[in-house]
Amino acid sequence: MKKLLFLMLCCLPALAQTKSDLQGTARVFDLEFTSQELDTLYSDVLDNLANYKAMHKLSLNNNVPLSLWQNPTLPGMKFDQKQRPIIWP
């Protein structure tokens, strides 16, 4: 869990842009990485940073709905409304 939180925080551009920043952030979470792990992590952080910058360049109109309004059913899809007993295998 700590490593996942660490990776998410490293994806923020303000927290990690150099390998020494990654090492400092790792110390905050009481983590130690080998130089090979830092190299791998660093390239992932740079990729994520580029993705965030690309997303920030996108402009959305006000008529684009929030993702909370998403409905996964496609138009015309019909579901059986009758409750049936569950038959476990």
Q: Which pLDDT score is estimated for 73?
A: 85
Contacts of residue 29, defined as CB under 8 A and 6 or more positions apart, other chains included, come to 2, 5, 6
Q: What residue spans define the domains of the chain?
A: 2-58
Read off the DSSP letter of residue 15.
T
Tokens linked to 41: 């992590």
Q: Does residue 45 contact residue 10 with C-beta atoms inside 8 Å?
A: yes
Residue 15 or 70, more confident: 70
Q: Residue 79 — pLDDT band, cuts 50, 70, 90?
A: confident
pLDDT digits (tens, 9 = 90+) for 17-63: 788 888 888 888 898 889 899 888 888 888 988 999 999 998 888 88
Q: Which pLDDT score is estimated for 5?
A: 66
The whole-model pTM stands at 0.49
Helix ranges restricted to H, 1-89: 2-10, 19-28, 35-57
